[in-house]
Structure 1
Amino acid sequence: MRALLRLWPVLSLLLLAACDPNQVFEKNADFDNYTWTIQEKPTFEFEIQDTTQHYDISFNVRNASMYGYYNLYVKHQLFGPDGKPITTLLHQMILMDPLTGEPRGKGTGDIYDHQFLALRNQQFHQLGTYKIVLEQYMRQDQLSGVMAVGVRVAKAVNK
């Protein structure tokens, strides 16, 4: 039963992604034993084929209720097709209400999925393959309770 509960958020994200015509890329990296070690720096590569378009880049986080903090600090590095760095930023993501400890995000049972907008209206000036590297910045060698992180790239929609 727990296996089904664990798969449900993945299946629902896949169904939602299949319905989004603006999505360019989405991929997640799972961590063994629900632990993100300081040495693990998930890397995601995506293709940009339209330099006139603006894009929103979001980070996905899946955590278990056993995660011991209300927030998560993640540093990203974005590299262009030429290998040169474009941006490096530190992001604070709020996973739980700091006062009540109530989980944020969507969840079933003890697993919660979050999506945080990291870069809004990003424009890429070169065609080709871009690379984004994520690094946990919580100053813990082993950060328990983080099950997966990922990146989503979608065409920006003017609202």
Structure 2
Amino acid sequence: MRNMMLMLAVAGTLLLSACDPSRVYEQNVEMPDKNWTVDNAPVFEFAIEDTTKRYNVYFNVRYSLAYDYYNLYLQHRLTAPDSSMVSSSLTELHLMDAKTGKPEGKGSSDIYDVQSLVLKEVALPQVGTYRLQLTQYMRRDPLPNILAVGVRVEEAAK
């Protein structure tokens, strides 16, 4: 019975993800021991075939309510297939309301997911594989209660 429920959950997830025609890429990486160390800088690789379109890039963060801060600073580096720099900047994501402490994003119990638009309608001018690296840029190392980080790339609305 448990295997049947697991198979139904996986099938449902696959069906829902298949119904998202704007998504080009989405991947999340779990943090070992729910701690994000500075030297753990995940790299996300995605292929772009249509250079005439514009793309939106989101950062995904799964965190626990035990996280000590209301925000999270991330450094990103997006490189093109020829290794040229497309974008590099420091981004502040708000995980909780600074005044009320109310968690941002979707979740239940003590686990929440935030998806933040970071690069809006960006041009990706080369066909091929792009690399996006994320590094946590907080003063604490390791940074506890960050459970996973990820990237979503989608075609921008016309």
Normalising to structure 2: TM-score of the pair? 0.89
What CA distance in whole angstroms lies between the structure 2 residues aligned with 1:128 and 1:152?
Answer: 17
Q: Which residue is equivalent to 1:78?
A: 78
CA 1:44/1:15 → structure 2, altered by over 3 Å: closer, same or farther?
A: same
Q: Which residue is equivalent to 1:131?
A: 131
Structure-to-structure mapping, 1:1-159, within 5 angstroms: 16-158=16-158
What CA distance in whole angstroms lies between the structure 2 residues aligned with 1:144 and 1:66?
Answer: 8
What CA distance in whole angstroms lies between the structure 2 residues aligned with 1:65 and 1:114?
Answer: 12
Could you tell me which runs of 5 or more consecutive residues in structure 1 were left unpaired when the two chains were aligned. 1-9
What CA distance in whole angstroms lies between the structure 2 residues aligned with 1:32 and 1:76?
Answer: 20
Larger Rg: 2
What CA distance in whole angstroms lies between the structure 2 residues aligned with 1:26 and 1:111?
Answer: 20
Could you tell me which runs of 5 or more consecutive residues in structure 2 were left unpaired when the two chains were aligned. 1-9
1:20 shift after superposition? 1.0
1:12 shift after superposition? 8.5
Number of residue-to-residue matches in the alignment = 149
What CA distance in whole angstroms lies between the structure 1 residues aligned with 2:132 and 2:139?
Answer: 21
What CA distance in whole angstroms lies between the structure 1 residues aligned with 2:36 and 2:132?
Answer: 17
Greater shift, 12-21 or 23-32, is seen at 12-21
1:14 shift after superposition? 6.0
SS at match of 1:17: helix
Normalising to structure 1: TM-score of the pair? 0.89
Kindly provide the CA deviation profile for residues 125-154 of structure 1, in whole angstroms up to 9, marking residues without a partner as x: 110000000000002111001000000000
Which portions of structure 1, spanning 4 or more consecutive aligned residues, are displaced by more than 3 angstroms?
10-17
Give the aligned CA root-mean-square deviation in angstroms. 1.8
Q: Percent identity at matched positions?
A: 48
1:33 shift after superposition? 1.2
CA 1:59/1:14 → structure 2, altered by over 3 Å: closer, same or farther?
A: farther
